[in-house]
Structure 1
Amino acid sequence: MAEFIITPPDRQDDILHDARFMRASTVVPHSDALRAIRAFCADPRRPESTLDTAVGALRAKSQAPTSKPFVKDEAERCAETILLFQNAQNALGIGKLPLFEAPKLAFMSIAGVAVSVQPDLLVGATRLDEGDRIGAALFRPQKTPNPSACKTEKTRLEREAYRREVGQYMLALLRMALIENGVTEERIDPKQLMLFDIRLAERIDFPSDRVSREKRIRAACGQISRLWASVQPRPGDFG
């Protein structure tokens, strides 16, 4: 959703097509990495052994002769993500943040489109209905667009800016999802809504222009709702 909003119109068709005709994956990308990172962050001791053990298990899976190629690739990808996170901890500002396990949130309906936003961690409260103030955190491990694989400085800066913009829309969606799941606006602390971009080694904070972003989100959902039925399959979608 966040990428659809900031993508030029001539590429939005591709996003809609891929969303409608996406093939079911037997492996959820980055899930093993995020599981370990969440467990590490939710433990106030922040034991590095949690991450080291996960990397060791993933490397063993990637080298096991019985593992299928896609399992090996995903295991290597997850191990790399954890190592990037370990190297970026100080830059991300994990420190002594009060981080806790997050519950699964229900879908929200925006202009007729079902949207799911799942926080990786709660910030400042152990439950949605607990405490005077609450925040939440997201991790973004995805490689694309990769800011470290650029031939020019201009391209690197453009990719970094793109990732930050996507991150801020993800945070706007996260706030909307918390409200949809019963958290009152008064209890949400914008300073405790954050996205950790592992590839950028950067913490992205909640945007100050929330109102205009929410308007664009609703407008984009209305556009998706109108166009969805007209999105057609392409050769190879069912091959």
Structure 2
Amino acid sequence: MIIQYHLARRTIAECLRDRGAINRIAANSIVALEERRDNNDNGPLVRDDAQRCIDVVEQFQRTANALDIWDAEYHEPHQPSPPLNINGVEISVFPDILVLDNRRQRVGQAFIRCTIGTSGDAAENRRQEANVQLATIAHMHTLQYLTDLGQPHPQTSLVLDVSRELIFRSPANSARRIANIEAACTMIAAIWPSV
């Protein structure tokens, strides 16, 4: 079993942490992924994932300078990542990168999304909503665990949708969205069978 795009996400996170070395990091990753793709000892899922990762890394490399992401510094996220506890519901949260805006002493976290997904207006709307929701969860996780690094700021937490070349940030006024997530978790906790 493999986690799709894991190697691409790891490469892109490394590129964000070291902007000056993007081309070297991407090139080294692509060489390793090509070896993985071309190794017949690997199963078809592994080889297919390697090719998809190559495509995503190359796309990020081509479009990185146009993305609105370079005002912050990026660091390795805390490992292991503690779960987010919302009204009795424990949610596993594994951000790809830690975001620091040192000019304003703000902190956030980011997720890197690589999947292409289905096309069409309805699918795109669902994807956008999911990305904003994920950015909000990143902000909530930051509020719970990273206040020692700076002021958790909603728009410092983000989702980088590589295949769409888009950045989704937690809304500046995220109180209502957070309240909706908390209400949903309260309902889940009430009906979820306790262990």
Fold match, TM over 0.5? yes
Letter in structure 1 aligned against 2:76: E
Aligned Cα root-mean-square deviation (Å): 2.6
SS of alignment partner, residue 75 of structure 2: strand
How far did 1:187 drift?
0.8
Letter in structure 1 aligned against 2:140: M
How far did 1:106 drift?
0.5
How many Å separate the matches in 1 of 2:130 and 2:182? 16
Residue 89 of structure 1 pairs with residue 64 of structure 2: yes
- TM-score, length-normalised on structure 1? 0.70
Residue 41 of structure 1 pairs with residue 5 of structure 2: no
Residue 79 of structure 1 pairs with residue 54 of structure 2: yes
Which ranges in structure 1 are unaligned for 5 or more consecutive residues? 1-25, 148-154, 230-239
**Structure 2 equivalent of residue 200 of structure 1:** 164
Contact between 1:191 and 1:205, CA under 8 Å: does it hold in 2? yes
How many Å separate the matches in 1 of 2:71 and 2:86? 35
Residue 134 of structure 1 pairs with residue 98 of structure 2: no
What percent of counterpart residues are identical?
24
How many Å separate the matches in 1 of 2:146 and 2:61? 34
Aligned residue runs from structure 1 range 42-121, under 5 A: 42-95=17-70, 97-104=72-79, 105-121=81-97
Contact between 1:100 and 1:125, CA under 8 Å: does it hold in 2? no
Contact between 1:137 and 1:194, CA under 8 Å: does it hold in 2? yes
Contact between 2:22 and 2:61, CA under 8 Å: does it hold in 1? no
SS of alignment partner, residue 191 of structure 1: helix
How far did 1:175 drift?
1.4
How far did 1:137 drift?
2.1
How many Å separate the matches in 1 of 2:51 and 2:86? 36
Q: 1:91 to 1:160 in 2, by over 3 A?
A: farther
How far did 1:38 drift?
1.0
- TM-score, length-normalised on structure 2? 0.84
Count residues with an aligned counterpart. 192
SS of alignment partner, residue 47 of structure 1: helix
Which ranges in structure 2 are unaligned for 5 or more consecutive residues? none
Q: 1:61 to 1:37 in 2, by over 3 A?
A: same
* Larger RCO (CA within 8 A; separation ≥ 6): 1
SS of alignment partner, residue 138 of structure 1: strand
How far did 1:32 drift?
0.7
How many Å separate the matches in 1 of 2:69 and 2:146? 27
Residue 187 of structure 1 pairs with residue 151 of structure 2: yes
How many Å separate the matches in 2 of 1:28 and 1:71? 10
